[in-house]
Structure 1
Amino acid sequence: MEDEATERHDDATALEHLRTLLRIPTVSRLDESRIDWARFDEFIGALEELYPLVHRELVVDVVDGHALLMRWAGRRPEREAVLMAHYDVVAADDPAAWTHPPFDAVVTGAGADAIVWGRGTLDDKGAVAAILEAVEQLLRAGFVPEHDVYLSFGHNEETAGSGAASLVAELSSRGVSPRLVLDEGGAVIENVFPGVRRPSAVVGVSEKGMANISLTVEQSGGHASTPPRMTATTRLARALVRLNARRFPASFTAPNIEMIRTIGAHSTPLLRFVFTRVDTFRRPLLALFARLSDETNAMVRTTAAVTQLRASDSANALAERAVAVVNTRIAIDSTVDETLSHFRRAIHDPLVVVAASTPSEPSPVSPSSGEAWQLISESISAVYPRAIVSPYVMLGASDARHFTTISPFVYRFTPFEMSSDERATLHAIDERMHVATFLSGIRFYRTLIERL
């Protein structure tokens, strides 16, 4: 009974800690002059107050202004592991559209139906809090890890990612080559594969590359009452239509194939026969993935989405410069250069200048076997025994990509159950998660740390 009471107290405390952190709007922006850095300082101060044992027993360093690196000394210093998350969040610029205010951390429901609402629950303060709760609880129990464990918390993952790059540089200067790095990424999800009734725990063994590709048209302006046949904006619009009409080619990479075989083996008999014979049914399966959902389509090709448009500042003046920014996620069997070549071929207009900013090549593929994979897989199964553990390629970009320079064992998994509705709130209105899954995340990190 005492253990149950302690667990209930720990769970209630953990939830309140998460709510405290969610209420601090650590919003990162591309234009850093618009960032309220006092909020980031407030967050760092809150961590020290909420997790006193962590700050007493671990060596805490601040890197690149606001990124955090915490070293938990083990019995032996070699064979280190790094647990990662980031504490910056994207903006919630229309709070009136939310069911509950984005930075109020409202809890609704009770028991299994309890939900905590707020920007950062899933991306990624939930993981920050879960890691720190796990470490604090283990410290309270007198646990000492066998090997050094580093906690790495970036402060600008949503924008520049310089915090993670600086953290890697710091670890590299210390000669740290981790045997395991775990960042945000896949999750415990359902209804991704037809015929599969069990949840799937998808662990990112790589991530797609990324580039913000600008399309720029410059030409003479003038009064809007006497427009030429082809204005800058018309030429830009034509380029975007051409680009949209010429999708990137679809293909299955090695992690795709392993994921299909692994998860598909648990489908209905007919579908299981197809999914476990990917090579035989490659062409129809590619067509299926391209149509099944936006998510499965993104698994098999480079994607391009227009996210920003800029032209004239005046309603009655022709634009002298029209610009579109296309956020591009590059398949792991491609490159930034190949992506730029595809843009130019599709647009087929030398007056549309194509250029990439903040390019990042796809990440190397980490092994889906061996010690590091087993540590993660067994820890998932201990907390989510029904889940099918499978590798996959992360569709977004994360701080983990920087760590591939110091370790070949970099994985991307957020230990939370996420429904399709909840996944749709990432970077969107009404971000939220079930309280029970946050608590399961703490148990996952505890289990993993005890095995390291």
Structure 2
Amino acid sequence: MIKKIIIGVVGIVLILVAVIAFKTITNTPKTIQAEQINKANIDADAVAQRLSQAVQIKTISVSHNAPVAQAEFKKLHALIDASFPLVAQKLTKEVFGNHSLLYTWQGSDASLQPGILMGHMDVVPVEAGTEQNWEHPPFSGKIIDGTIWGRGTLDDKLSVFAILEAAEYQLAQGFSPKRTLYFAFGHDEEIGGENGAGKIAEHLKNQGVNPAFTLDEGMVVVKDIMPGISQPIAFIALAEKGYLTLELTASAEGGHSSIPPKATAVGKISRAIARLEENRLSASLQSPVSDMLETLAPHMPISLKAVISNRWLLDPVLVDQLAKGKTTNAMVRTTTAATIINGGTKDNVLPSTARATVNFRLLPGDTIEDIVEHVNSVVDDPDVTAKIMQGNNPSKVSSSDSDSYRMIEKTVREVLPDVLVSPGLMLAGSDTKHYEPFSENSYRFIPMRFGPKDIARVHGTNERIYIDNYAEIIQFYIRLMENSGT
């Protein structure tokens, strides 16, 4: 009897090994031949100068309570009109929220759903005290050694100007799109976009516009980030994580520090944060991250390919490994980040309240209500309350099988033939959330080339872009406008 059991177990193990080996060996890269195209003749010096001028204009979004930089946006609008005269002459321009721009390029085929190309004109401030750490001043627009330096070169004036450069080029060539194209440029994306993209989206929805796709900032072309893959990867984000900021307030008896209570307000808020960090939300692997891994698995080393190719058996192992990395962890769970803590005014005075700000980035499938319930359950202290300061739920997951996705993918392969293309998940936020309620599919991608050290430049120090890459981005939009009619 025991011998039969042993033989049976060995047989099962051998079958499992055979299945794992078969699925791993047969998971091979697809052969995709990109069309050879004649690329546009772009004057690299001229386009760099125009972006440099835009960077020098300080369209900074500070906070919801701070005034809009009206004079700076007026300068930027004037620069756009002067830099792109054919766009100004032949496209319809509307202004929303006093500073955001919507251009309409009417297509020749009314049966085709329109497309919306997006970007935002505002930038984040430079952190006080870090100015001296910049190789070139953050609003200098310095052009040196084939590089443009300054705020907006990555996030996100480059998108605005690249789209306009592409449109100006196509207008000069006599091109007219089959599909109506909208160019939507917000002025307050860095503080939520309600008065910019929110107003534009509301207008388009009221006009009955039903776009086939939107394409906004988001993911990029990365190299040397995915293990075992040396080829650059263009990640087209199918979704973006949600955003939630909670303010936790702990209450306790105030008074003189010489006779403190057993639990102070500062102690209670500290305990609350510690509990949240010790009891993070669970990790799971779902679309679009699962789509990304399955797309890239054929290009990975055999060990990783074996695990991903056999998720039916090894999914817990894969999730556990992903949760150990900083970036990959953010792909498989709703993250928890305590960012601000306040309490007390003097060393010998007990504060009656202490506060902490906690930011969550929600994985598709989670909701704000889920997170608030989690926080209250984990903190488990009647003297600590949670208040929602700002939040939006995660986006829906757009299709990677749609005609629109395939059009974007095709364009990437034609303009950047050296890259792999994969679905992805945007970990930060964008103006896309305002268009989602009436957009069939929403994608987030700019073909910026990033190495491992470049991610920190976004919202950080030494933001810059190589002119050669900027020209590639313009080429991408030029070709996308041509492919949009197919």
TM-score norm. by structure 1 comes to 0.94
- Output one character per residue of 1:317-375: Cα deviation in whole Å (capped at 9) or x when no partner: 43333211111101102111111111112211121101222221111111001210111
Say if 2:192 and 2:431, in contact at 8 Å, map to a contact too.
no
Cα distance in 2 between the residues matched to 1:51 and 1:350: 60
Find the residue that maps to 2:191 and give its secondary structure: coil
Which of 87, 92, 117 aligns to 1:83? It is 117
- Output one character per residue of 1:247-303: Cα deviation in whole Å (capped at 9) or x when no partner: 110000122111101112111233323223333221111111111x31111000000
CA RMSD, 1 decimal? 1.7
Find the residue that maps to 1:332 and give its secondary structure: coil
Q: Does 1:256 align with 2:292?
A: no
Q: Greater shift after overlay, 430-439 or 167-176?
A: 430-439
Say if 2:411 and 2:476, in contact at 8 Å, map to a contact too.
yes
Which of 169, 173, 177 aligns to 1:145? It is 177
Find the residue that maps to 1:70 and give its secondary structure: strand
Find the residue that maps to 2:124 and give its secondary structure: coil
Query: In the alignment, what sits opposite 2:471?
Result: 439
Equivalence map 1:180-329=2 (5 Å)? 180-291=213-324, 293-314=325-346, 316-329=348-361
Query: In the alignment, what sits opposite 1:158?
Result: 190
Which of 351, 361, 367 aligns to 2:393? It is 361
Matched letter for residue 116 of structure 2: V
- Output one character per residue of 1:56-100: Cα deviation in whole Å (capped at 9) or x when no partner: 111110111211111011113441100001111111033223222
Say if 1:67 and 1:154, in contact at 8 Å, map to a contact too.
yes
* Aligned sequence identity (%): 34
Cα distance in 1 between the residues matched to 2:424 and 2:342: 36
Find the residue that maps to 1:362 and give its secondary structure: coil
Larger Rg: 2
Find the residue that maps to 2:189 and give its secondary structure: coil
Cα distance in 2 between the residues matched to 1:61 and 1:289: 45
Cα distance in 1 between the residues matched to 2:234 and 2:66: 39
Structure 1 runs, 4 residues or longer, greater than 6 Å off: none
Query: In the alignment, what sits opposite 1:126?
Result: 158
Q: Does 1:101 align with 2:137?
A: yes
Cα distance in 2 between the residues matched to 1:319 and 1:139: 65
Query: In the alignment, what sits opposite 1:376?
Result: 408
Cα distance in 1 between the residues matched to 2:280 and 2:62: 30
Which of 24, 38, 51 aligns to 2:57? It is 24
Cα distance in 2 between the residues matched to 1:356 and 1:201: 35
Residue correspondences, number: 442
Equivalence map 1:103-118=2 (5 Å)? 103-109=139-145, 114-118=146-150
Task: Mark the runs of 5 or more structure 2 residues left unpaired by the alignment.
Answer: 1-37
Query: In the alignment, what sits opposite 1:52?
Result: 85
Change (3 A) 1:220 1:46: farther
Cα distance in 2 between the residues matched to 1:215 and 1:44: 41
Say if 1:260 and 1:276, in contact at 8 Å, map to a contact too.
no
Cα distance in 2 between the residues matched to 1:42 and 1:219: 51
Cα distance in 2 between the residues matched to 1:190 and 1:7: 27
Say if 1:418 and 1:433, in contact at 8 Å, map to a contact too.
no
Say if 1:83 and 1:183, in contact at 8 Å, map to a contact too.
yes
Q: Report how far residue 315 of structure 1 moved.
A: 5.1
Q: Report how far residue 313 of structure 1 moved.
A: 4.2
Find the residue that maps to 2:113 and give its secondary structure: strand
Say if 1:108 and 1:116, in contact at 8 Å, map to a contact too.
yes
Cα distance in 2 between the residues matched to 1:245 and 1:302: 14
Say if 2:103 and 2:184, in contact at 8 Å, map to a contact too.
yes
Matched letter for residue 327 of structure 1: N
Find the residue that maps to 1:211 and give its secondary structure: strand
Matched letter for residue 123 of structure 2: V
Cα distance in 2 between the residues matched to 1:295 and 1:181: 26
Say if 1:26 and 1:36, in contact at 8 Å, map to a contact too.
yes
Say if 2:216 and 2:444, in contact at 8 Å, map to a contact too.
yes
Q: Report how far residue 185 of structure 1 moved.
A: 0.7
Which of 194, 200, 204 aligns to 1:171? It is 204
Q: Does 1:430 align with 2:466?
A: no
- Output one character per residue of 1:127-177: Cα deviation in whole Å (capped at 9) or x when no partner: 111111111111111111012100001111111311111111111121110
Cα distance in 1 between the residues matched to 2:458 and 2:219: 13
Matched letter for residue 81 of structure 1: G
Cα distance in 2 between the residues matched to 1:215 and 1:99: 39
Q: Report how far residue 224 of structure 1 moved.
A: 4.3
Change (3 A) 1:191 1:277: farther
Q: Report how far residue 51 of structure 1 moved.
A: 1.3
Find the residue that maps to 1:420 and give its secondary structure: coil
Q: Report how far residue 116 of structure 1 moved.
A: 1.8
Q: Report how far residue 316 of structure 1 moved.
A: 4.7
Matched letter for residue 48 of structure 1: D
Say if 1:265 and 1:272, in contact at 8 Å, map to a contact too.
yes
Q: Greater shift after overlay, 88-97 or 133-142?
A: 88-97
- Output one character per residue of 1:399-452: Cα deviation in whole Å (capped at 9) or x when no partner: 111111111211011121111211111111111222211111001011101111
Find the residue that maps to 2:58 and give its secondary structure: coil
Query: In the alignment, what sits opposite 1:420?
Result: 452
Q: Does 1:72 align with 2:108?
A: no
- Output one character per residue of 1:94-122: Cα deviation in whole Å (capped at 9) or x when no partner: 3223222111112232xxxx222211111
Say if 2:64 and 2:191, in contact at 8 Å, map to a contact too.
no
Cα distance in 2 between the residues matched to 1:156 and 1:261: 36
Say if 1:415 and 1:440, in contact at 8 Å, map to a contact too.
yes
Query: In the alignment, what sits opposite 2:29?
Result: none
Say if 1:257 and 1:278, in contact at 8 Å, map to a contact too.
no
Task: Mark the runs of 5 or more structure 1 residues left unpaired by the alignment.
Answer: none
Cα distance in 1 between the residues matched to 2:89 and 2:171: 10
Change (3 A) 1:37 1:322: farther
